[in-house]
Structure 1
């Protein structure tokens, strides 16, 4: 006998008693009246429109002989609660396909070595070029068209318990049929003995077909994937997994305007994995001129689109893509969970090469047909040589490539000594290529076009949480080349010694201030062909003779004035360099650096922007990260972590920040003064410049809280002359502008900007 819980037993006895009382009012046999129909069970869970997040799980997929797909799936919120109430119009897209071979579409470059490729089951034509039909696997089933027309009213069955069944066949509102069946346009066959996959994306809409948005402005949507082997009706592993979705999201971050879902299909396809179902290997689109005339075709596969965009946008005026596309491993990162992470090294696919190497600047001159402005036809099969005879992708981009090789070299400062009278600092450093010391003869000795030498070390000092002087570039090169001085000497042990005199640099100023001495590098090493390190060779015109000399990566080293090394930066780190390198890796504008101090040693509070505005690191970074709406610079935590944005981290005695000069010209102590802003106020106005958040009343408010800031009638010119800057400053901004208040004030700010 099953035992009831006490409260359940009590309720059962109570209801039994009530039932007896009710029956006693009927006939003696208790049968008066008729039994009603059983009530329908209520829904389980909560409405999908009430969720803040949704998770879809596809549990089963199959298609019949007519090519109609049946899909079973479930929906839950972030806490696992079932979600009911999904409608046909919420089905944003369903795509279907299978793994296949290049041989099936005739694109194999190396006979006998076809690559595995994804083949869409919803193939359609995309126009024609020179009598050739273009195809794309970009068809899909959806409950609503891109024009807003409802496609189907009965394709989706809601089981009211968080589970659903979708069939890609049904009825339109006008009673006509809507059907999306398998169609490969005769390019290849359905093969049930190969792994198939289905992609489902859901975009929740309200009763008026308007999308539901989360607090951060994103659409409430989700993506689900399912892979199976139809012939055995068994679940399968995802095939052809090349790049992790998380790798793309390190730059295309959820919650930002530049997230994957906003790139080309707003609010619909939100993860990289979804792109591969439609933008398959054989996708080709028409290329048109400015007048709309068809002039050719271009690769519409996901690799073609990604390579094209990330290659050309790097060189575009807006500089949107921060990392050159030839650094393959920015995206193609080694990852144990990604089965084909090293597929880019296989050298089996010419189309991938031609995505980037498609102009006179991207291919050797002997591959180029100058008369027709295109690559020679007999050079279009890149992999017939590259990877088989000549350098392949991995060698060409890394192992035998000067730019990649340069990032493997390390500059290490071993020691410093300060002269007794403080008029010079001597340092000994080494440049390491693995276990080998790089000699001074291999360091680029040319003059720099803006003064000094191309190769240099940078001297500065830190006091009151900032660098004390504008950056000081100390030339490092063998003597005898150019007119600019070098301060370097080659030591017998392979290291390099540099003596920095106060006559040329602000050495005694740093020493007398009691600063921690900071050293970083801007070293270039000469490479010949195929990434081979060589002694630099300078021709009669003063140029490198057939060599390249890319930057080496810099680290910042700190020393006390007694020569002892300082392990950690004496500066407060308001952001971690790893946050920058998620997108930039080692390349940031005009030098390579591994730490934030490598940037701040130049872009510090002492440096204005040629008299007009600030060149401080906060201002420069904030101004550069609002490009095309790709990032919302108001999402503080993206770069600053949990509390790097905190005004309370700025010390009371922190140095002021230069925001121009009194006459708007380049700073010259003999003719003008710098305009200074107190440090907490400077952090705020690095973003809050006109026309956003800066006014007379704002300036008055900052001053009332102890901030030092002013303007002379032109709100675009802020700060006080350096001679007027107070000896002591007590800012109280952080009292009200706490961490939580800063985050709240900036959440989802300016979504329309």
Structure 2
């Protein structure tokens, strides 16, 4: 097939394959390669030009004096050959189409003569030939060729990577020097398909050939003072079409009207003499994010300090999450080859030149090993075993298979949950194991605290007799009940199972349906137990079980998919935890359709006493909130806490018109959430990043509307009259009220991501009910028992599936890939 003869749709559908035949470096380099439409059909593709392909060459310089090996790019001379440049691929050589699917490319850049060529050029500061590194051509070193195929409407670009040794003309083998410390497969566990620079660069093996220390060429080093680079000014711009706000950063407020990028700024392309674009440093700093010691990093408008790693609980320690030795041959470099470059990228407060500095924990003791001018002695103090130990997280996870010596790891199991038909008492049979051995007494010696049960259920609501959502009817904020495991406790039996009998008053309401029990919460291991030095919470994966005979709540999300990013999710202080092996998410027992923000119920006496600093102060500044005003809490944002709406809104992050904002009041404290600057790491439009296939294309009958604000017959009129108080807001949270502001089920799922006025208006015209009163039948509240469109009541109910259902013109599953 000829590329230029293909239609736009055919080009978009291509999944091409690029196969390198070989590289000859005589003078200049010559590459032979073939292009087909993929391994399945293997049809040759003809007619490719340099508009679709570009070429990069780099050499691997072996490490010396304890330092790791590093890539040095040859792509550091401009296409005219008159000046230097930061590393980039070239297209200005000679490409020959052999008319049979094979091609030959001759580089314009003669790498064997590049060193002398650069030496003969004249540079003006801040450009310097020295910043381009040692460009000596050594045919005995490992070299890397990358062919990038992209452009021309191609939606599936290719990065063909070929490592070879010029002296032999052969591809490298396992016995040759290599550097593969991370595999793109590890990155894509969370990023799904990491695609940068126009979505054409999709493999870290390509990234490292451009993101070298040579990126300092032409840059001026910016110095930090008191652990901070020059202060940044955040500049916000609203897109006139989408309404989405983007943020840019400068040391002043001068901008260019065409691109809105700051001018007069001092980006930290090089900061304190360190090249921020060097791949190990750049990627480590992005993932260390807000935990970095130094402030005001700004690399190409990427403010490292604004980033947050999605693995909670000090997850940046989990080096093996990215450096997985089952996927990359040199992945264990993170512990076997410590260096100032890699380690100092995260531990950025340490100044190795003189040994002073601040640790990630805030200690100002500097580097224990004092000043280090090279990496020669790093491994003497930081042995592989010690590094692994230091980087252990407190919990056992897939990428943290061991915890510190002495720490006990628990597992929970709920064998059965049964409700007595006469007494309505609940009997739960469960087991708690410590390091694989069932406990014989609760609590175990040397531990404080305790796990507990969560009870969730469904009852008739909004005319729906049998809801498919938990609603925990009759409980404030629609929260699950939380009885102690010690209630009516007996056992264990010979198999290690305890039995807890919970009386009816503390169990499920009579007649409740879809009842479920979770074992959640944790023990705290006391200092001295097992030889540990400090009290340590032992967060444990929650277990969920449906009551015998009841319908189990539907499953639309795969915990293993969530764990690709979150690994071991510790919600609410580690009380609610799931991992890749969780069969059900404990989250949905509490985050039900009736749950909404509680922040507006906080009394002045408690709110006025709080002092907000750091991240909370920033959030409140964004909200324009003053906690000293009378009835201040009523100015806090309010939204649903129903799981689907909340998670959609959070993950949509900075791509929403109105960011997901929430304020939660609990025990005289206020939790603030604002996701306006959050980047979703994967493909936000791919629902199956989280969802089980086939579960998200429609909303099942008997789904409940999501409550966005709890309002009752007293609080509502008081809001209108300007006489409302937090106490009124608190009362309204007690139950589902006819005056509550709700969103119908289908619209709730969609408007949580697609929140523009235009999108919401479209949903409303098709029966979506957005922020209506729960009891307003004139707007479609389901007196008939369903929010779904019903032909018997034309004009009422959601008709979304008419166009967006399976097999329809705008099929959700097709559009969200």
Matches within 5 A, 1:562-601: 570-587=552-569, 589-590=571-572, 591-593=576-578, 594-601=582-589
Matching residue of 1:737: 804
Q: Quick one: distance in 1 between partners of 2:140 and 2:284?
A: 32
| CA-atom RMSD in angstroms | 4.6
SS at match of 1:273: helix
User: In 1, are the aligned partners of 2:37 and 2:43 still within 8 Å (CA)?
Assistant: yes
- Residue 233 to residue 658, structure 1, CA distance change in 2 (3 Å): same
SS at match of 1:83: coil
User: In 1, are the aligned partners of 2:289 and 2:306 still within 8 Å (CA)?
Assistant: no
Matched, 1:517 2:516: yes
| Bigger Cα Rg | 1
SS at match of 1:306: helix
Could you report, residue by residue, the CA deviation over 1:361-390 in whole angstroms, capped at 9, with x for unpaired residues?
A: xx99997999988546617665332327xx
Matching residue of 1:308: 285
> How many residues were matched structurally?
599
Shift of 1:598: 1.2
Matching residue of 1:538: none
Q: Quick one: distance in 2 between partners of 1:527 and 1:742?
A: 60
Q: Quick one: distance in 2 between partners of 1:426 and 1:747?
A: 45
Matches within 5 A, 1:108-123: 108=67, 117-122=69-74
Matches within 5 A, 1:143-154: 143=91, 152=92
Q: Quick one: distance in 2 between partners of 1:727 and 1:495?
A: 46
- Residue 81 to residue 516, structure 1, CA distance change in 2 (3 Å): same
Matching residue of 1:701: 766
Matches within 5 A, 1:619-658: 619-629=645-655, 630=680, 633-647=684-698, 650=700, 652-658=701-707
Shift of 1:735: 4.7
Shift of 1:492: 6.0
Q: Quick one: distance in 1 between partners of 2:62 and 2:337?
A: 16
Shift of 1:523: 2.0
Shift of 1:719: 4.0
Could you report, residue by residue, the CA deviation over 1:634-687 in whole angstroms, capped at 9, with x for unpaired residues?
A: 43343334322121x61x334443332234734344895444555445444444
Matches within 5 A, 1:462-611: 464-469=467-472, 470-472=478-480, 474=482, 487=487, 491=491, 498-503=500-505, 505=506, 507-509=507-509, 511-526=510-525, 546-560=534-548, 570-587=552-569, 589-590=571-572, 591-593=576-578, 594-610=582-598
Q: Quick one: distance in 2 between partners of 1:671 and 1:597?
A: 24
When the two structures are superposed, what TM-score results if normalisation uses the length of structure 2?
0.63
Structure 2 stretches lacking a partner, 5+ long: 78-83, 111-115, 121-128, 224-228, 231-250, 252-265, 293-303, 459-465, 473-477, 601-637, 656-679, 717-728, 790-798
User: In 1, are the aligned partners of 2:557 and 2:690 still within 8 Å (CA)?
Assistant: yes
Matches within 5 A, 1:37-48: 45-47=2-4
Could you report, residue by residue, the CA deviation over 1:320-359 in whole angstroms, capped at 9, with x for unpaired residues?
A: 5412322223223353x53334443425445433322334
Q: Quick one: distance in 2 between partners of 1:307 and 1:247?
A: 14
Q: Quick one: distance in 1 between partners of 2:90 and 2:754?
A: 44
Could you report, residue by residue, the CA deviation over 1:591-615 in whole angstroms, capped at 9, with x for unpaired residues?
A: 4213553121111223233384321
Structure 1 stretches lacking a partner, 5+ long: 1-43, 109-114, 126-135, 144-151, 172-177, 205-211, 255-259, 447-453, 478-485, 536-544, 704-708, 710-714
Picking from 237, 251, 276, the partner of 2:190 is 251
Matches within 5 A, 1:207-606: 212-214=152-154, 218=155, 221-237=157-173, 239-254=178-193, 260-262=194-196, 265-280=197-212, 286-287=221-222, 289-290=229-230, 292=266, 296-298=272-274, 300-312=277-289, 321-323=309-311, 324-335=315-326, 338-346=328-336, 348-359=338-349, 374-375=366-367, 378=370, 383-387=379-383, 392-398=386-392, 405=403, 409-418=410-419, 422=423, 424-437=425-438, 440-441=443-444, 445=448, 455-461=451-457, 464-469=467-472, 470-472=478-480, 474=482, 487=487, 491=491, 498-503=500-505, 505=506, 507-509=507-509, 511-526=510-525, 546-560=534-548, 570-587=552-569, 589-590=571-572, 591-593=576-578, 594-606=582-594
SS at match of 1:47: helix
Matching residue of 1:70: 30
User: In 1, are the aligned partners of 2:335 and 2:387 still within 8 Å (CA)?
Assistant: yes
Could you report, residue by residue, the CA deviation over 1:141-194 in whole angstroms, capped at 9, with x for unpaired residues?
A: 412xxxxxxxx3x522233333222222289xxxxxx98999996748544334
When the two structures are superposed, what TM-score results if normalisation uses the length of structure 1?
0.67
Shift of 1:623: 0.4
Could you report, residue by residue, the CA deviation over 1:485-512 in whole angstroms, capped at 9, with x for unpaired residues?
A: x758685677665454454x4x241x42
- Residue 197 to residue 276, structure 1, CA distance change in 2 (3 Å): same
